[in-house]
Structure 1
Amino acid sequence: MKKKFLFMMFVSQVFFLSCKKEENQRYVNKKEKKWIEYSLQFPDTVEINKSYTGIIRYESILDTITTDFDDKKNNRYTIFYLTIVNNPLKDNSEKLKKIALKFGADNNRIIPFEDIKFDKVGIYYIDGIIHDFAVIELNKKNESGEDLVRLIENEERVSHKVIVVNRK
Structure 2
Amino acid sequence: MSTAASLTLKSSIPVPSVKELVSQPLDTVPHRYLRNIDADYPTATLFSGDSSLHVPVIDLIKLTDPQFQQSELQNLDNACKNWGIFQLVGHGVSHESIKSMDGKIKEFFDRPPEEKKRYAQKPGSLEGYGQAFVISEDQKLEWCDMILLKAIPTDTRKLEFWPEQSPHKFR
Please give the range of the TM-score, normalised by the shorter of the 2 chains: under 0.3
Higher Cα Rg, which structure = 1
Larger strand proportion, structure 1 or 2?
1
Question: As a proportion of its length, which structure holds more helix?
Answer: 2
Structure showing greater relative contact order (alpha-carbon pairs closer than 8 Å, 6 or more residues apart): 2
